[in-house]
Amino acid sequence: MSKYKPKTKTGLFKRIAWRVLSLVLVFGLWEFAGRKPISIIFPTFTSTMVALMNLLIDGTLLSAYAVTLVPLAIGVALVGFLGIVFGILMGLYRSFEWLTLPVFIIVQSAPMAALIPLITFLYGIGLGAKVLAVVLMAAPVIVLNSYRGIRNANPTLIQMGRSFLASRTQEIFKIILPDASGMIFAGLRLGVAAGFIGVILAELLITPTGIGDLITYYRALALYPQMFASIFSIVLFASVVVSALQRLEGILFRRQQCTS
């Protein structure tokens, strides 16, 4: 993984220029496709942005996010804590691994979205059902990344610890866990991304609330610019959150990545 670092001001300027250019290109194509139009339901970029502004100003978007983010936050916090603990235990104890690893491997490869309608039968349509959808989507990657981080902890470092008489507790807390922390955090980031998918699916498939409600509502009224604005906002929000986590990861675990 090579990271491009601008050394000079012109380097930074160039980098920003390229980004702006790619955005202009994408949004330009969008505007063109909307004006042509490729489909009567496909709004132009500008009308979408106007709709987005209006939704922002009248507070519709804000109150929708206030609803959507609740199950997402609860779900991510829950699985962030329990999932990491679970994954670490799986990595440290063979018997625990034997018992639970197959479940998570199946869960990870299964299309979990197909299970979301099932949740309704068991947990109804309330907040609990939506939290569960987030947990179902986010748990496998968080658990398995934590597990792999522990299991792939550098064997030379473990041997070093033993040669300097580390106890098992010291080995876990001073060597294995710090060594695995980068991978655990990466799992958390991927889990948050999966959690977004979970919460939107729940809002579209279980009961329309929050941002899912906006999308469904504007589609029913054929207000396509507003519908696209809602979709655009959630895509933007999710990518900003996930790339911020990626930045944070780069800063926190810079040292680990640079040495063998």
Partner 1 sequence: MQANTIQNRPIIEVKELSKTYPGRVEALRNVNLSIPRGQLTTLLGPSGCGKTTLLKIIAGLLNKTEGNVFINGQPVNGPGPERAFVFQDFALLPWCTVLRNVAFGLELRGVPGKQRNEIAMKYIDEVGLTGFEKAYPYELSGGMRQRVGLARALAVDAEILLMDEPFASVDEQTRRKFQEDLLNLLKIEKKTVVFVTHSIEEAVYVSDQVALLGPRPGRIMRVINTRLDHAENVEDIRRDQRYLNLVEDLWQILRQYLI
Binding mask 167-206 for partner 1 (x = CB under 8 A): x--x---xx--x----------------------------
22/170 with CB nearer partner 1:
170
Torsion of CA 237, 206, 75, 147, to 10 degrees: -100
Which of 136, 138, 149, 167 has the alpha carbon at shortest distance from 90?
Answer: 149
120/181 with CB nearer partner 1:
181
- The answer to whether the CB of 137 falls within 8 A of the CB of 104 is no
178/208 with CB nearer partner 1:
178
Residue 9 beta carbon to partner 1: minimum distance, rounded to whole angstroms? 25
Residue 157 beta carbon to partner 1: minimum distance, rounded to whole angstroms? 6
Site for partner 1, residues 107 to 166, rule: CB under 8 A: 154, 156-157, 159-166
Number of residues that bind partner 1 (CB under 8 A): 21
Q: Which residues bind partner 1 (CB under 8 A)?
A: 154, 156-157, 159-167, 170, 174-175, 178, 255-256, 258-260
